[in-house]
Amino acid sequence: MDEIKRRPCTKEDYEFAFQLVEESLFPLVAEYYTPDEKVFRDRFEQDYQERIVLTVDEKPIGYYQLRTDGDRLEIKGIFLIKEYRGKGIGQKLMKEFETGGHKIISLTVWVNNPAVKFYKDLGYKIVGEKDHKYMMEKNL
């Protein structure tokens, strides 16, 4: 596999980020709510600096977003374009996040997202449910 590099997200990444979320997350959200680009745009404007863009040969292939709160690392999202899913990238990222010195990793995932199984397989436990989303955690 080609080498995956990382770079900070910029406002110019909006269109890529939106298309990725529109393709991967909006179909899940649509089972419960009408997906709203304005909500995505507002959030992106507020927190794009927390996002890291993954690239291969300078072409964006995905991004992730993290937030740290003391000993807790919150994964706000991991998104990959279709061609790069199922190739171990998510597992590699999760392993890296888990070895970053935090005591707890938490995340929220839609209940209808196939990623629930991925996180369970990595040892994450459902610790709550709200608004059609599971809150999951792993103590390290």
Q: What is the mean pLDDT of residues 68-73?
A: 94
Q: What is the mean pLDDT of residues 97-110?
A: 96
Residue 114, judged by CB atoms within 10 A of its CB (0-12, 13-18, 19+), counts as exposed
Convert 75-104 to b/e letters by CB count within 10 Å (16 or more is b): bebbbbbeebeeeebbeebbeebeeeebee
Token couple for 127: 């610790």
| Percent of the chain clearing pLDDT 70 (strictly above) | 99
Question: What are residue 70's phi and psi, to 5 degrees?
Answer: 65, -120
> Is the predicted pLDDT of residue 1 greater than 60, yes or no?
no
pLDDT the model gives residue 88: 94
Q: What is the mean pLDDT of residues 70-90?
A: 95
Kindly indicate the confidence band of residue 52, based on its pLDDT and cuts at 50, 70 and 90.
very high
* CATH H superfamily, domain 4-139: Gcn5-related N-acetyltransferase (GNAT) (3.40.630.30)
The alpha helices in 25-114, defined as continuous H runs, are 26-29, 37-47, 89-98
pLDDT the model gives residue 74: 97
> Is the predicted pLDDT of residue 17 greater than 60, yes or no?
yes
Question: What are residue 82's phi and psi, to 5 degrees?
Answer: -50, -45
Q: What is the mean pLDDT of residues 59-88?
A: 96
